Amino acid sequence: MHTALLYVKEKMIVSLNGHFPTSVAGMMAFAAAGTSSAVAWLRGRSDANVARIAAWVTFLEVFLFFDIVFKWRWMLHAAFIRLAMDHAEYERRRVVQVAALVILGAILLGFGTFTARKLRDKISVTFALWSASLSLACWCVEVISLHYVDAVLYHRIAGVMVIVPIWLLLGLTTAISIQAARSQL
C-alpha cells in the first residue's frame, strides 16, 4: 500500500507529459470558483463588503489554480521532506504532521464559528467563505501529507481519486454561493 501511494504521489508530482485528469479537474474547479468570484468582485465594487470578500476569494482560488498548474504544493512538500531528512527527523515527522493537522482543524473550527456568528443572516456569504476556506485547508492537508490521509485522498473509486469530487464540490459551492452572496451584502 505504501509503495502504491508513493507511486501515485510521484505521478502527480512529476508529470512530464502535462497534467493528469486529477489535476485538470482541480484546475477546472478552481478556475470556475476564481472566475465566479472575480465577476462578483467586479459587479460588487460599489459595495465594500462585497468587494472585500469577493477579492479575498478570487485571490485564493486563482492561487489554488496556479498551484495545480505549477505544482507548488508538491514543491513545498518536497522542501519539507528535504528539511526533515537534512535534520535526521524524517522518521519522526508524523508527530509534526499530526500536530499541524490538529492546528489546522482548530483554525478551521475557529474561523467557522466566527463567520457563522458574524454572518448568521447571510447564508450565501458564509457558504462562499467556508467553501473557499475548505479549499485552502485541502491544500494545507496535501502539503502536510500524512500518509494515512493521503491514502484516503488519493484512493481511486471508479478510476477517480477521492480528492477530485472534493475539489469539484468546493469549487462549485464557492462559485454558486459567491454569486448569491452579492445580493445578501
For the segment 3-7, the average pLDDT, to the nearest whole number, is: 52
Rounded-to-integer distance, Cα 23 and Cα 67, Å: 10
Range of the domain at 133: 2-182
In order of 9, 124, 157, 161, 177, the CA distances from 131 in angstroms are: 25, 10, 23, 20, 9
- 167, 138 contact by CB (below 8 A): yes
Number of domains in the chain: 1
User: How far apart (Å, rounded) are the C-alpha atoms in residues 83 and 70?
Assistant: 21
Instruction: Express each pLDDT in 10-57 by its tens digit.
Output: 555 444 345 688 999 999 999 999 999 999 999 988 888 878 999 999
Per-residue pLDDT at 47: 80
The confidence band for 1, taking pLDDT boundaries of 50, 70 and 90, is very low
Q: Tell which wins on pLDDT, 62 or 159.
A: 62
The model's pLDDT over 61-118, given as tens digits with 9 standing for 90+, comes to 999 999 999 999 999 999 999 998 998 888 888 999 999 999 999 999 999 999 999 9
